[in-house]
Amino acid sequence: EIVMTQSPGTLSLSPGERATLSCRASQSVNGNYLAWYQQRPGQTPRLLISAASSRATGIPDRFSGSGSGTDFTLTISRLEPEDFAVYYCQQYGISLYTFGQGTKLEIK
Amino acid sequence: EVQMVESGGGLVQPGGSLRLSCAASALAFSTHYMQWVRQAPGKGLVWVSRINPDGSSTTYADSVKGRFTISRDNAKNTLYLQMNSLRAEDSAVYYCATVTSGHWGQGTLVTVSS
């Protein structure tokens, strides 16, 4: 099983700032099949990025994904108030898919 | 608009069984890998199981292997999760979701308690 480790656990920033979230895998993710999800309180997870860097339909271009192998990054270029939420990475390259524990992005 | 609607959750005693269903509409269901994901109150997302498009390949998290069975009926555009030998730690909201296209249901709550 691949273990996905997200850092930091909590990130405190202000609107307009840039956010950088990290996701590290315990072994290489096949095909860079890595997704990022956003979950706001009381809501269903929302797919932001698939295949490490492909933005999902309707996702603003301030969200971008990068990385390969074992190290992946989600960047939010300029934070909007609605971006403060919990973010999860998920690998789906090896048949036992796994999520990271999440990064909470909070308003500073 | 794609809709995915889970059903079958509820209160069950430890050791009991439940069968969850997820009905999809406006989705090319038979072409998608599908997964079940759960989330205990106040906790993170935990992957449970996945199935390939024709149902011939399934995988499970170690925590549910041997107790849960994922299946699908492509003629009915429906995904299932048979859950046996339920434990208190299985209590969570269970979501069905496509693996790559970002379609999720609203979830169904499973509570395992005596």
**Calpha distance B102→A35 (Å, rounded):** 9
pLDDT of residue B32: 97
pLDDT at A63 over 90: yes
Nearest CA in chain A to B97: A45
Q: For residue A89, give how far its alpha carbon lies from the nearest alpha carbon of chain B (Å).
A: 10
Does A89 score more than 90 pLDDT? yes
Angle, CA A75 vertex, CA A43 and CA A69 arms, to 5° = 100
Residue corresponding to tokens 């656990």: A9
A 10 A CB-CB count for A85 gives 18
pLDDT in tens, B48-90: 999 999 999 999 999 999 999 999 999 999 999 999 999 999 9
Taking CB atoms and an 8 Å cutoff, what residues of chain A touch B104?
A: 44-45
Q: Compute the mean pLDDT over every residue in chain A, rounded to the nearest whole number.
A: 96
Please, which residues bridge with residue B38 across strands? B46, B94
